[in-house]
Amino acid sequence: MNIVAIIPSRYGSTRFPGKPLVMIAGKPMIWWVHHSVQQVNDFEDVYVATDDERISEVCRQCDIKTIMTSPAHMNCFHRVHEVTSKVDADRYVVVNGDEPLIESSCIQTIVDDLKRTNAEFLFSYRRLNDPTELVDSGNIKVVISNNHLVYLSRTPIPYPHKSSLFSYKKIIGIQAFSRKALDFFVNTPPGEIEQIEDIAELRWVENGKNVRCVEVVSDSISVDNPRDIQKVEEILKKRRVEHA
């Protein structure tokens, strides 16, 4: 199976403009993400997909391959879809450009499952341990049944009415798609639930697509605002101590 990794990265974040280039422990955030992705040997190639020359220039300085995409894209799935018209592959593994803590072992878990199942749609998730993550609307919580996605929401789901003996789960920034799956996304209008929750991934759910989900063990957090940088650097320090 020919698998290409794509790291979507845009400069114009509403909450944190320029965050792909923010320095974390002496390196730009995009370097940390690419470093983890590049450690997976199964990829034919790894690209950063961006619409901004500033990101592209930093990537060139770091010897990271880039593909320039349209600035008009509404979300990362449109950006990745444009890349599929330029780079041919059987599957595209998408790793969010705002998760500098993502471990290569987590990416490898997704790739291994992808090669085994040949899934058209594949999302990764982890269990939540920190109560503050649960109430953060930036963390997309998921309900999963038999390794398949049932629903996503910004609110804690499922509701513990009859039992609290379960773990809440959230999706993290590793996903995999066929070109056909991405074609469907860009050619299908947003549904009512997607627009209410403001979660693009619900487009596949609302249209009855069978999305496979794979659990990974990770302490990764996404960088959504400047306050998250301190958390990321603290986790990096902890990892260095543990591996010393």
Please report, rounded to a whole number, the percentage of residues in the chain having pLDDT higher than 70. 99
- The boundaries of the domain holding residue 59 are 3-242
pLDDT at 244 over 80: no
Q: Residue 48's domain is classified under what CATH number?
A: 3.90.550.10
- Token representation of residue 141: 């919580």
The separation between the first and the last C-alpha atoms of the chain, rounded to the nearest angstrom, is 36
Peptide bond into 160 cis (omega under 30): no
Per-residue confidence (pLDDT) for residue 113, from 0 to 100: 98
CA distance 93 to 111: 8
Name residue, tokens 């990974």.
216
CA distance 210 to 51: 31
- Strand, helix or coil for residue 47: strand
Do residues 42 and 111 make contact, with C-beta atoms less than 8 angstroms apart? yes
pLDDT at 2 over 60: yes
Per-residue confidence (pLDDT) for residue 224, from 0 to 100: 84
- Give the model confidence (pLDDT) of 45-72 as tens digits: 999 999 999 999 999 999 999 999 999 9
* Mean pLDDT calculated for residue range 113-142: 94
Domain total of the chain:
1
pTM (2 decimals)? 0.94
